[in-house]
């Protein structure tokens, strides 16, 4: 279902006066629906390229003509806004809202609207987003290089204007994101700041399919056999690679293994690393995919084993289905047989772990070679484009010289006559 388009009357004047608008269309990538920004000239827009943005009126006209599913607003360093995205917290049929999100809406008391899916909310405030994390569970905070889809479907209760909520934002961030300060000093509790944790099926907000939080993954990856490689990449050191793109792929490949191929968690971790750069969010492909999305997609495609945090194996083969339930094995045996069996299992487990370690190292090498090959192909395409451009310039110069020779008949004919000898 396509959401309604907003009108000027439904939006804060501050937003409409800024030329930071784009269109957007729904697309399905890697099995998930996403919203891709559109330039009103017909191409893809980028949240980091102002040349692809336009005014609200032009973006709205573009969408009304059927060229886009809706309009969106881009957050930049040059504006004072912070976007708060509350996802999967609203019943699209009844409008019933989960407690954790309602408390945030009430606390911010700023412009709030229903998201295009009808299952969440977007809040826009004036404020300064604290560092050290901006995503957890179904809560995301943005202040630059991202865009908000805008529906104009305002929520009754909060202010219709964009209010200054710097203090409230700081408290919200302290409650949901662990920073260096809150790691050593618990800081404001969820009770004192008036917010509660998003509900995620009874699990921690940052848990993934393999049960590991972001912090768990960073710790385990740092202590693994290739931990030094990961640590350097995590700290932004790309010196061991021919290009930053190769380093991006190397980090993404490691994260694909440790996250069990969870694309959202991989994206979140890359953004938290010092290797992250603005190029990650730039559209680089004809299908509208960003550089970061395609890097993650390729990293997952090149990963054949995932980390298994259970005590029975260190890695699992990629499978089209995940097997749930307990892995416990129940055996009835006498004490001697149990002891003998345990020894045999331990020996087999050692051999299996060694084999998996060799295979993992081999796969990492293959991933590195694949990344290098892709980088070489990209460089080859760039050089071919430069060569063709140089040829075109040469053809233009030759045409100009020929044209000059044709029109120059006064005096120079004598010089050309002597030059024939």
Instruction: Return the domain boundaries, the chain.
Output: 8-193, 214-321+333-378
Among the residue ranges 39-48, 72-81, 262-271, 381-390, the one predicted with the least confidence is: 381-390
Question: Torsion-angle region of residue 76: left (phi > 0), alpha (psi -120 to 50) or beta?
Answer: beta
SS3 316: strand
Specify the DSSP class assigned to residue 310. S
Residues counted in the chain: 421
* Cβ atoms of residues 318 and 303 within 8 Å: yes
Q: Which of 48, 83, 50, 45 is CA-nearest to residue 62? A: 45
Average pLDDT rounded to a whole number, residues 4-16? 94
Report the alpha-carbon distance of residue 308 to residue 88 in Å, rounded: 28
Question: Torsion-angle region of residue 259: left (phi > 0), alpha (psi -120 to 50) or beta?
Answer: alpha
Q: Which of 301, 200, 318, 311 is CA-nearest to residue 260? A: 318
- Mean of per-residue pLDDT scores for the chain: 78
In this predicted structure, the answer to whether residue 15 has a pLDDT above a threshold of 60 is yes
Q: Which of 85, 190, 98 is CA-nearest to residue 138? A: 85
> Higher confidence at residue 134 or residue 108?
108
Helix 166-176 × helix 99-108 angle, to 10°: 150
SS3 376: helix
Q: What pLDDT score does 357 carry?
A: 63
SS3 307: strand
Centroid of chain to Cα 296: 9
Per residue in 189-216, pLDDT (tens digit) is: 333 334 444 444 433 434 345 678 888 8
Q: What pLDDT score does 403 carry?
A: 72
Q: Which of 196, 173, 174 is CA-nearest to residue 187? A: 174
Report the alpha-carbon distance of residue 41 to residue 44 in Å, rounded: 9
Q: Tell me the whole-structure pTM to 2 decimals.
A: 0.52
Report the alpha-carbon distance of residue 392 to residue 302 in Å, rounded: 39
> Higher confidence at residue 239 or residue 362?
239
In this predicted structure, the answer to whether residue 296 has a pLDDT above a threshold of 60 is yes
The DSSP string of 115-178 is -TTSS-EEEEEE----SS--EETTEEEESSSEEEEE---BPSSS-SS--B-HHHHHHHHHHHS-
Which of 98-102, 185-189, 287-291, 349-353 has the highest mean predicted lDDT (pLDDT)?
A: 98-102
Average pLDDT rounded to a whole number, residues 94-120? 95
In this predicted structure, the answer to whether residue 253 has a pLDDT above a threshold of 70 is yes
- Give the other-Cβ count within 10 Å of 155's Cβ: 18
| Separation in Å, CA 201 to CA 176, 254, 263 | 17, 27, 19
Average pLDDT rounded to a whole number, residues 93-114? 95
Q: How confident is the model at residue 362 (pLDDT cuts 50, 70, 90)?
A: low
Average pLDDT rounded to a whole number, residues 282-289? 78
Q: What pLDDT score does 418 carry?
A: 53
Among the residue ranges 10-19, 45-54, 247-256, 357-366, the one predicted with the least confidence is: 357-366
Q: What pLDDT score does 404 carry?
A: 67
122 CB-contact burial (10 Å; exposed 0-12 / middle 13-18 / buried 19+): buried
Report the alpha-carbon distance of residue 9 to residue 209 in Å, rounded: 43
Report the alpha-carbon distance of residue 27 to residue 194 in Å, rounded: 37
């Amino acid at each position: 279902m396509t959401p309604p388009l907003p009108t000027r009357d439904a939006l804060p004047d501050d937003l409409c006066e800024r030329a930071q608008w784009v269109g957007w269309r729904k697309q399905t990538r890697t099995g998930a629906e996403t919203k891709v920004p559109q330039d009103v000239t017909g191409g893809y827009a980028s949240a980091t390229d102002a040349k692809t943005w336009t005014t609200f009126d032009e973006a709205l006209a573009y969408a009304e003509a059927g060229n886009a599913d809706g309009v969106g607003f881009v957050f930049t360093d040059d504006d004072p806004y912070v976007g708060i995205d509350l996802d999967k917290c609203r019943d699209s049929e009844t409008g019933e809202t989960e407690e954790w999100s309602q408390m945030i809406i009430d606390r911010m008391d700023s412009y709030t609207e229903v998201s295009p899916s009808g299952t969440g909310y977007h809040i826009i405030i004036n404020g300064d987003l604290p560092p050290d994390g901006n995503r957890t569970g179904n809560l995301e905070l943005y202040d630059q290089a991202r865009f908000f889809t805008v529906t104009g479907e305002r929520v009754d209760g909060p202010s219709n204007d964009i209010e200054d909520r710097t203090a409230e934002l700081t408290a919200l961030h302290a409650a949901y994101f662990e920073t260096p300060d809150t790691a050593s000093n618990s800081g404001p509790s969820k009770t004192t700041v008036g917010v509660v944790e998003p509900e995620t099926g009874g699990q921690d907000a940052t848990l993934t399919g393999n049960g590991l939080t972001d912090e768990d993954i960073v710790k385990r990856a740092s202590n693994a056999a290739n931990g030094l490689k990961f640590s350097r990449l995590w700290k932004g050191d790309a010196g061991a690679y021919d290009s930053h793109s190769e380093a991006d792929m190397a980090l993404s490949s490691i994260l694909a293994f440790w996250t069990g191929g969870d694309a959202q968690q991989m994206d979140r971790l890359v953004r938290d690393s010092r290797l992250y750069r603005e190029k990650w969010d730039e559209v680089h492909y004809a299908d509208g995919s960003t550089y970061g999305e395609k890097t993650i997609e390729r990293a997952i495609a090149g990963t054949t084993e995932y980390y298994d945090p259970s005590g029975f194996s260190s890695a699992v083969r990629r499978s089209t289905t995940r097997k749930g339930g307990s892995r416990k094995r129940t055996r009835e045996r006498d004490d001697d047989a149990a002891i003998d069996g345990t020894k045999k299992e331990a020996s087999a487990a050692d051999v299996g772990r060694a084999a998996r370690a060799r295979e993992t190292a081999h796969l990492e090498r293959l991933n590195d070679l694949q990344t290098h090959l892709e980088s070489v192909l990209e460089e080859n395409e760039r050089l071919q484009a430069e060569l063709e451009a140089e040829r075109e310039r040469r053809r233009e110069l030759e045409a100009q010289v020929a044209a000059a020779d044709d029109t120059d008949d006064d005096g120079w004919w004598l010089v050309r006559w002597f030059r024939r000898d």
